[in-house]
Amino acid sequence: MTLLFDTRYLFVRSLKKLFRNPILLFFSLFQPIIFLVLFTQLFHSLNLLPGFPPGVSYLEYASAGILLQNAFSSALQSGTSIVEDLNSGFLQKMLVTQVSRPAILLGRLTTDAFRVTVQSAIILCLAYVLGFRIQTGVLGLLLILFIVAFFGLAWSGISLALGLRTKSAETVFGIGAFLTFPLLFMSTALVPVGFMPTWMQSVSNVNPISYAVNAVRDLSLPNYFSWSAEVSALAFIAGIAVVTMGITLYLFKKVVS
């Protein structure tokens, strides 16, 4: 009960902190919205090329990738937040109280998952206005939000580990961007794998972003849904989460001790 109570308290605390500085929400949504509104319009004729999924507009194809782009961009804020708590002395103050140690991380992670879910819902609403539709209905929508939040949670582990290790918000953002943005463009987020050079296709086939994007896309496009693809994607994301959270817990224990 202590773990749940403390996690809830720190979750609410992080939400209040976020609402007091809504500019963070705006700028984390700014880039995905630009991609959604301008990028999909700029390349709207891409679906006319041979090899593009038949009967699918570029907006329908790229929306899944834009959702995942928002997830890992928002995940970078986890590391910067833990650095802020370290440098301000807030984390040290919590450590001298009776607060549950795992709740410190769980409160942060649940806040991040909630923020990514809300942002994803906003992006989907805007995409709906532009003509995007989810063919699997309400259940598909809920599963999409779950996959995106789960992916953001797994990616937060990288950001938190960097923050705990470097204790520098600039380093977290720099290394995080260096790791994530090349992976975005070497995935199926924005173009089909057949449009890539051979070496990039090899990277895309093992790229976690491709797995998550394909799962979201299969839920939104007609006649693409497959339970085996969804389960494979969730298992792959879970494997990443185990690794990233394991590293984060190890570094957090070092900070606590």
User: pLDDT tens for residues 80-101?
Assistant: 777 777 777 777 777 777 777 7
**pLDDT band with cut points at 50, 70 and 90 for residue 134:** confident
User: pLDDT tens for residues 136-183?
Assistant: 888 888 999 999 988 888 888 888 888 888 877 778 777 877 777 888
User: For the chain, what is the domain count?
Assistant: 1
Domain carrying residue 137: 2-256
**pLDDT band with cut points at 50, 70 and 90 for residue 26:** low
Q: The pTM is what?
A: 0.86
Contact (CB, 8 A) for 80 and 172: yes
Contact (CB, 8 A) for 115 and 74: yes
Q: Is the dihedral angle over the CA atoms 220, 224, 226, 232 positive or is it negative?
A: negative
